A = this chain, B = another copy of it.
Amino acid sequence: MSLKHAILVLLETEPGSGYDLLKRFREHIGYFWNASHQQIYQQLKWMHEAGWLALRTEPQQGKPDRKVYELTPEGHAALLEWLAETSKPQKVNDSLLVRLYGGHLREADNIRADIAHHRKLYEQSRAALLAIEQHYLALPEAERQPYRFPYLTLRRGILSVQAWLDWADEVDAVLNHL
């Protein structure tokens, strides 16, 4: 529904290829937007055909051409239009919690392992986000300016991951005196 617009926001900040976008989704904004490479390439194709994106093909020695996309004025207009809409509340679908809800049908060890597995992922995520934050905070005031808004979203990622880990501690405490 708004992967198109997520792509517009990213390309407005900095033009890039489909693979560049994939990495940005994975490494930088995965705590608020996720997309597979198939999805991204499909959308880029659609957006290019709709006139939202211009395509610059950079020939590379030996390697296949690098296809760099950037916003057209139409794409910019579409982005502004979308930004003005009021966003619907986030739709959450978390199967880990569905599984926990049905915990009475599972082995306690299975639940513990499930939580432990996710804990590792969230801890990795927290470390990555905190590293990005340190990098941002080390910048001189002037260079921080353009990242003001992305930084606010980064804070959301950090608080959100931390809240998950705090909850996991509660869960482990309960599971351990079962």
Contacts and interface: CB of A to CB of B under 8 A. Distances in A.
Contact of A9 (B32, B102, B155): B102
A103 to B, nearest CB: 4
A170 B87 CA distance: 20
Contact of A104 (B31, B32, B34, B146): B146
A167 B171 contact: no
A143 interface: no
Contacts of A171: 152, 155
Contacts of A156: 97, 164, 167
Interface stretch (A15-23, A40-48, A114-122, A131-139): A114-122
Nearest to A31: B92
Interface in A77-97: 79-80, 83-84, 86-97
Copies in the complex: 2
Contacts of A126: none
Contact of A90 (B96, B146, B166): B96
B34 A117 contact: no
Interface string A137-178: 000000000101110110110011011101100110010000
Contact of A105 (B12, B99, B121, B166): B12
